[in-house]
């Protein structure tokens, strides 16, 4: 198996920052890249705040926090990312953008580097086919928030070799998480089940069966879910939910995966959930207030 010592993370949003946090804490050197210096600054601030929270909760020591922060190198340059042993692409859920990232990364890659994508729904086989190493390409799907959630979906494309699979299983074990194998079909396992449930909750709102609060309360108390489906949609990002539903609808050609028109309307309005302060709830006050 390939000995993984250094990690490249492309994308310094919520997922990329969480991935960098977890790997640095586990002892890996991390190159975290983004096209925006501002995004890199926000990501480092977020990582620092989350590590400090872990120190206050006695989950890690202050020395471990400082060591983890010292292992993360923010950069707008792809060259140091390409020189790492394992690259994790964690950009927006947009297939064309992901292909462009891997094309731009190609001239900088070391021969042994393994490529992965944190995509939550896009075909791994298609992404891999645009690179020079489809046999060393996998889906490496972390759950949000990365430092808290235990699962990592490992998705092999049609060309992925066994050595890559076993190497990434070892990496998942080393960072203290649990790997789940999924086949390369639209949205894999978690989002194939979860996001259509969210979409159905939005239809339930759209059709007037329940209000935002009654739908969320019903699932929290009636199904023992920690968050209601509309709260969860806001947390994930309504644009991400819509992108996943579109992948399911296009990839499986089944009308049961048709995105709810109300979800489309919210995304068109730019009300994407927590990250824009408005989605199914308005987060601009002291307490979230339903927007419908």
**Cβ(61)–Cβ(36) below 8 Å:** no
φ/ψ of 31, rounded to 5, equals -100, 115
With 0-12 / 13-18 / 19 or more C-beta atoms within 10 angstroms meaning exposed / middle / buried, residue 144 is middle
Instruction: Identify the active-site residue in 21, 118, 141, 231.
Output: 141
Instruction: Identify the active-site residue in 21, 50, 89, 153.
Output: 153
* Rounded CA separation 265/82 (Å): 39
What number of CA atoms fall less than 13 Å from residue 184's CA on the CB side? 18
Q: Does 153 qualify as catalytic in the annotation?
A: yes
Instruction: Identify the active-site residue in 50, 191, 199, 249.
Output: 191
Rounded to a whole number of angstroms, the distance between the first and last alpha carbons of the chain is 53
Q: Does 33 qualify as catalytic in the annotation?
A: no
- Helix, strand, or coil here: 116? strand
Q: Which residues contact 231 (CB under 8 A, 6 or more apart)?
A: 216, 280, 281, 288
**Helix (H) and strand (E) counts in the chain:** 12, 10
Q: Does 181 qualify as catalytic in the annotation?
A: no
**Cβ(77)–Cβ(36) below 8 Å:** no
Q: Which of these, 125, 120, 82, lies nearest to 102 by C-alpha position? A: 82
Q: Does 200 qualify as catalytic in the annotation?
A: no
Instruction: Identify the active-site residue in 33, 117, 120, 121.
Output: 120
φ/ψ of 103, rounded to 5, equals -65, -45
The residues carrying an active-site annotation are 120, 141, 153, 191
């Amino acid at each position: 198996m390939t000995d993984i010592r250094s990690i490249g993370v492309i994308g310094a949003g919520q997922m990329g920052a969480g991935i960098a946090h977890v790997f640095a804490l586990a002892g890996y050197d991390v190159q975290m890249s983004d096209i925006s210096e501002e995004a890199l600054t926000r990501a480092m601030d977020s990582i620092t705040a989350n590590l400090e929270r872990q120190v206050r909760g006695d989950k890690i020591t202050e020395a471990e926090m400082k060591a983890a922060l010292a292992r993360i190198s923010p950069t707008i340059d792809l060259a140091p990312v390409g020189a790492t042993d394992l690259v994790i692409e964690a950009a927006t859920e947009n297939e064309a953008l992901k292909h462009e990232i891997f094309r731009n990364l190609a001239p900088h890659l070391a021969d042994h580097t393994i490529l992965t994508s944190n995509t939550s729904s896009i075909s791994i086989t298609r992404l891999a086919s645009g690179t020079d190493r489809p046999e060393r390409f996998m889906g490496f799907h972390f759950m949000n928030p990365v430092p808290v959630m235990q699962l990592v979906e490992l998705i092999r494309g049609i060309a992925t070799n066994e050595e890559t699979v076993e190497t990434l299983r070892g990496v998942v074990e080393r960072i203290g998480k649990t790997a789940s194998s999924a086949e390369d079909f639209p949205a894999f396992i978690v989002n194939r089940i979860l996001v259509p449930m969210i979409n159905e909750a939005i239809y339930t709102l759209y059709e007037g069966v329940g209000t935002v609060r009654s739908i969320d309360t019903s699932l929290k108390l009636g199904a023992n879910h920690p968050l209601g489906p509309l709260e969860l949609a806001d947390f994930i990002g309504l644009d991400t939910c819509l992108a996943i539903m579109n992948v399911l609808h296009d990839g499986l050609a089944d009308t049961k995966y048709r995105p709810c028109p109300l979800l489309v309307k919210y995304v068109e309005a730019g009300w994407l959930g927590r990250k824009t302060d408005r989605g199914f709830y308005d987060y601009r006050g002291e307490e979230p207030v339903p927007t419908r």
